[in-house]
Amino acid sequence: MRAVVFDGVVLGLQFGLLGVGLTLVYGLGGVLNLAQGQFAVLGAIVVALRIDAGSAVVPAVLTGLVVAGSVGLALDLTLMRPVYRRTGEDRVLLGLLLMLGVAFIIDGVLVWRYPIEALTLRIGGEPVDVLGVRMRTGSLLASAIALGVGAILVLFLRYAATGKAVRSVIQDEEGAQLCGVSPEKVRAFVFALSGVLAALVAVTRSMTSPVTVNAGIDFTILALIVAVVGGLGSVSGAFLAGILLGIVNTVSAHYIGTYVTTIVLLGAAAITIVLRPSGLLGAGRE
Amino acid sequence: MLEVAELSAGYLGQDVVHQVSFAVDEGEAVAVIGSNGAGKTTLFRAVCGLLRPSRGSVRLDGRPITRRRAHDIARRGLAYVPAERHLFPEMTVAENLDLGAFPHRPRGERQALVLELFPRLAERRGQRAGTLSGGEQQMVAVGRALMSEPRLLLLDEPTTGLAPTVAAAAYEALTVLRGQGLTIVVAEQQVPLALGFADRGYVLESGRIQLGGDAAELEDNPDVQLAYLGIT
Amino acid sequence: MIRRAATVGRVGTPAVRAYAPVVVACGLVALLPLRYGDSRPMMGVVIGGVLFACYAVGFNVIFGSTGQLFLCTGALAGLGGYASAILSDRHGLPLMLAMLLATLVAATAGGLLSWIAVSRSLGVIFTGIVTLAFALAFQNLLLGQRDLTGGETGLVVEAGSDTLLGEQVAPFYVFVALLAGYLALFRALQRSHIGWAFRALRDDEIAAELAGVDVKRYRVLAGTLGSGMIGLAGALYAHSEGFISPSTFSFGEVDVLVIVMLAFGGIGSLLGPVVGAAAFTVLEEWMDSFNEYRLIIYGSVILVLFLVLPRGVVPTVQGLVERLRRRAGRPAAPVAPSPVDTLNPG
């Protein structure tokens, strides 16, 4: 049982990182990035292609991250302009639909050009004993990365000037403008960042299981569930929800079955929305 | 320092403010008075960049800022304190103040100066802004605006919802700031306070400037007395 | 802000003129078997087109009329299809009764979702997420409950194969009749006080509430009705096709197409579903050889549509016609507003 829970934590940390990008983008501007999963897969495929072409792992990973981030940035600077010009529910609806279209396009292009491509990062080394449970080095590395990046992110948002600027836009956009913070620049930055984070999760996932070219939808749905349960706009909420749901995922999959597990996770999101829409940690709190 | 010429602005295609013109010189304290719905907030929002004017122009130190975005204008030395304050509720008083200095690093001395002006806030530095009382929030809002060392301060109805003693204290603080050389424009419904504080004033009614002149003149003006001071 | 009033709902527009489009459109569609009646595969395609038009009308009632973003059209159809198949094949219920019950199941599910959304004042995003969660959960349910649903391999539906529905061309006419009924119902709604309430609450919810419109009730009504329509179409399809599987009713197979069809045709318009379904059935057929590009094309269509032509074909054409009429000195033709109006920068 302990092994299952540990696996759940490993998974959960990565879930959290995946949800963070989505929750930040939504908190900043009401845009639900339904292409989050596709950003992740895009990053993974780029890394895989670079490795196939003979590159070393670390530069390949960096390339993948940069590509994913750049696509995010490009999208924000182009497609999102008409979206941000609208307000309220108009903006939400248009943003959602446009990102859905983008998701299809990225998915379609990747599946069409690289139908059999997948990313698998083999991390060598003997399994390590952690609190009585044998953990693969891949899992440990993935957890360490997710935890490390997550910690940096939380600290950045809490203490760095730009990080505070990000939080200020989430908490009160007009107030932020009056302080000299440009919401457009903050949004562009965060959109790019969410692309990088998504790609990073794909890379860490690939350390324990292959990330295929059609994994996009699954990633998006996971990110969505985590972000909703954690509270749209809350980074620490996304991590908390990620860990909780990661554990639920592995425990349920181990003892019950995969189909039920998915239903349980979806149910968690639905119940959160119905009972406590602000999620576990509400919006704006870091 | 601030020149507003034939400015018109509004919402959803309908102008609320019509061809308003006024000017503010450096070091002056100017009051814009008018009742609810006169268009004071719309005017200020158009001046500080939160609202796009439909016509007219705004110049700061001779340079046009008419269609610039609010954050751009804020960085040019024009600080606006909106009626709704727009504080960051989950951040502490200190964090709110520091953000006022964005993009510059908040200087400890600056914050100390602001807190000197509002001693009540010093005790509450670490408190979440969302949990403060109305008067304290107003102080944070003004303090935050001051953190950027602005040359021009615009305040929209700073005494809304404040008890009379607190409102008076607010204007005392403004007088101190004025004495330090800050140019201040304040929109007010509470006319006696505003005219008592300012050098000059404008009366805004139905989106147009109806009167303008020295504060003392306005106070003596019979129409003003009737409409705003309840004196017949 | 001045919005064009929906004069189509005005008392006085003669019924003949109001329902004429329904008759004309369905009449034209009904001619198709003359060309394709001999080919079973082509009839399958054509029936699919009419089926999706029916789905789209149901979705139009839910989203077009009251702005509720239901991302579970496929699941609602699947509820209808699977329920009807299971009730008739496994439990021996007569076909009509099974389909009726299946329709009620779908209607109840949709009504429940609407009710949850209005009780908790869920906005577009949360309604979308909750309905999407429902759709995905339903999909997993179908896959997981092998004994009941046949799981991934699907379910052969025997009931109905000995009736009209089992033939090659006859089911088509059944579907056309269903579509005609749905369109007539949509038009009747538009012309009734219910339609007026729908327009009011879409325009300005608070104003509508203050005017005495019980927004909750009308939203739930739209959700229930639209879902029932979708469910019935799904049930009918199950029996006419003779085979259903989870992928028949998945998000990718149904919802995406329905949204794109309706967006293209015109959300909130009467004939939008028909125009959209026609256009995309043709596109799907033509794309059969370009299967790899399918997603890319749909993604691009969505982007272009919502950026450039958010009102869709039918209202845009109506707008053009109205401008021509005005120039010719004739009175303006009625144009109904839609929730996508707000997506227009104008």
Yes or no, beta carbons of A179 and B70 under 8 Å apart = no
Give the pairing type, strands B78-81 and A211-212. unpaired
* Per-residue confidence (pLDDT) for residue C330, from 0 to 100: 59
pLDDT of residue B181: 86
Segment A88-107 shows an average pLDDT of: 88
Phi/psi for A276 (5° steps) reads -150, 80
- CATH of residue C291's domain is 1.10.3470
Res C132: pLDDT: 92
Most confident range, picked from A57-61, A222-226, C29-33: A222-226
Residues 6+ apart with CB under 8 A from A271: none
Q: Which residue in C66, C70, C126, C297 has the most chain A C-beta atoms within 10 A of its own C-beta, making it the best mutation to test that interface?
A: C126
CB A239 within 8 A of CB A149: no
Q: Tell me how far apart the alpha carbons of residues B18 and B28 are, in angstroms, rounded to a whole number.
A: 24
pLDDT tops 70 at residue C343? no
| Cβ-based contacts of A96 with chain C (< 8 Å) | 69, 124-125, 128
| Type of residue numbered C30 | A
Contact call for C296 and A104, based on CB within 8 A: yes
Q: Nearest CA to A229 among A241, A244, A215, A212?
A: A241
Q: How far apart are the first and last CA of chain C?
A: 10
> Residues C173-209, buried b or exposed e (16+ Cβ, 10 A)?
ebbbebbbbbbbbbbebbbeebbbbbbbbbbeeeebe
pLDDT band at C216 (very low <50, low <70, confident <90, very high): confident
Peptide bond into B103 cis (omega under 30): yes
Q: Which distant-in-sequence residues (6+ apart) come within 8 Å of A62 by Cβ?
A: none
Find, among B172, B96, B159, B108, the residue nearest to B132 by Cα: B96
How far A179 CA sits from the closest chain B CA (Å)?
Answer: 5
The first and second tokens of residue C183, run together, are 């369109």
| Position C2 pLDDT exceeds 80 | no
DSSP label of C93: -
**Measured between alpha carbons, how far is C236 from C228 in angstroms, rounded to an integer?**
12
Of B50, B71, B95, the CB nearest to A180: B71
Residue C68 belongs to what domain range?
7-343
Q: Do A97 and C306 touch (CB under 8 A)?
A: yes
Q: Between C137, C259, C303, which is nearest A263 by CB?
A: C137
Q: Would you call A104 an interface residue with chain C, using a CB distance cutoff of 8 Å?
A: yes
The structure tokens 């299981």 sit at A209
Comparing CA positions, the residue from A232, A253, A246 lying closest to residue A204 is A246
- Among candidate residues A194, A185, A206, the one with its CA nearest the CA of residue A71: A194
How much is the pLDDT for C291?
A: 72
pLDDT tens, position by position, A101-149: 999 999 989 888 888 777 777 776 677 777 777 778 888 888 889 999 9
Separation in Å, CA A137 to CA A126, A144, A145, A146, A156: 7, 10, 12, 14, 28
Cα dihedral A71, A99, C123, C111 in deg (nearest 10) = -150
Report CA-CA distances (Å) from A255 to A225, A250, B46.
Answer: 21, 8, 62
Could you tell me if residue B202 is inside a domain? yes
**For chain B, which chains pass the contact test of at least 3 CB pairs under 8 Å?**
A
In a domain, C1, yes or no: no
A96 in contact with C at a CB cutoff of 8 Å? Answer: yes
The answer to whether B90 contacts A176, with C-beta atoms less than 8 Å apart, is no
Q: Which residues of C217-227 are buried (b: 16+ CB within 10 A; e: fewer)?
A: ebbbbbbbbbb
| Count of beta carbons in the 10 Å neighbourhood of residue B15 | 17
Q: Which two tokens stand for residue A210?
A: 């292959």
Instruction: Quote the pLDDT of residue B231.
Output: 60
A36/A218 Cα distance (integer angstroms) = 10
A201 vs C283: CA distance, rounded Å: 37
Q: Which of A49-58, A147-156, C67-76 has the lowest mean pLDDT?
A: A49-58
Share of chain C above pLDDT 90, in %: 32
Contacts of C306 in chain A (CB under 8 A): 94, 97-98, 101
Domain total in chain B: 1
What's residue A223's pLDDT? 92
Q: Kindly report the backbone phi and psi dihedral angles of residue B158, in degrees, each rounded to the nearest multiple of 5, phi listed first.
A: -65, -15
pLDDT surpasses 50 at C239: yes
Q: A266 contacts in C (CB within 8 Å)?
A: 133-134, 136-137, 140
Q: Domain of B231: which CATH number?
A: 3.40.50.300
**Whole-structure pTM value:** 0.85
**Contact status, residue C265 vs residue C312, Cβ threshold 8 Å:** yes
In this predicted model, what pLDDT tens digit does every residue of C116-125 receive, in sequence order? Answer: 998 888 888 8
Question: Best-predicted range by mean pLDDT among A206-215, A244-253, C50-59, C242-251?
Answer: C50-59
As a whole number of angstroms, the distance between CA B81 and CA B146 comes to: 10
pLDDT at C334: 53
Residue C144 located in a structural domain: yes
Distance CA C124, CA A97 (A): 11
Cβ atoms < 10 Å from Cβ of C77: 34
- Per-residue pLDDT tens over the stretch B182-198: 899 999 888 888 888 88
pLDDT recorded at residue A255 = 85
Interval C182-209: pLDDT, tens: 999 999 998 888 888 888 888 777 788 8
Q: C16 is written with which tokens?
A: 């003949």
Does the residue C309 lie in any domain? yes
With cut-offs at 50, 70 and 90, classify the pLDDT of residue C35.
confident
- CB-CB contact of A238 with A227 (8 Å): yes
Contacts of A113 (CB under 8 A, 6+ apart): none
Determine the pLDDT at residue C28. Answer: 81
Q: Which distant-in-sequence residues (6+ apart) come within 8 Å of C305 by Cβ?
A: C260, C263, C264, C312
3-state secondary structure (DSSP) of residue B133 = coil
- Cβ(C165)–Cβ(C104) below 8 Å: no
By CA distance, what is B140's nearest residue in A?
A175
CA A192 to chain centroid, in Å, comes to 12
Q: Does the residue C2 lie in any domain?
A: no
Candidates A82, A106, A273; nearest CB to C122 = A273
- Higher confidence at residue B203 or residue A125? B203
Q: Which of A90, A97, A104 sits opposite C342 (nearest CB)?
A: A90
A148: distance to nearest CA of chain B, Å?
24
Contacting residues for C301 by C-beta, under 8 A, at least 6 apart: A101, C260, C264
Count the domains in chain C: 1
* Secondary structure of residue C172 in the 3-state scheme: helix
Q: Check residue B139 and give its pLDDT.
A: 87
In a domain, C167, yes or no: yes
What is the tens place of the pLDDT at every residue in C140-166? 889 888 888 888 888 888 777 777 777
CA C156 to centroid of chain Cα atoms: 25
- pLDDT at site B232: 56
pLDDT digits over C62-121, tens only? 998 888 999 999 999 999 999 999 998 888 888 889 999 999 999 999 999 999 998 888
B23 bridge partner residues: B3
Is residue B84 included in any domain, yes or no?
A: no
Taking residue A159's Cβ as centre, other Cβ atoms within 10 Å add up to 10
Mean pLDDT of chain C: 83
Distances (CA, A) of C341 to A98, C65, C229, C338: 16, 12, 25, 5
Please report residues of A whose CB lies closer than 8 A to that of C129: 224, 228, 269-270, 273
Q: What is the extent of the structural domain holding B72?
A: 1-77+191-232
**Half-sphere exposure for B192 (CA within 13 Å, toward CB):** 7
Beta-carbon separation of A96 and C128 below 8 A: yes
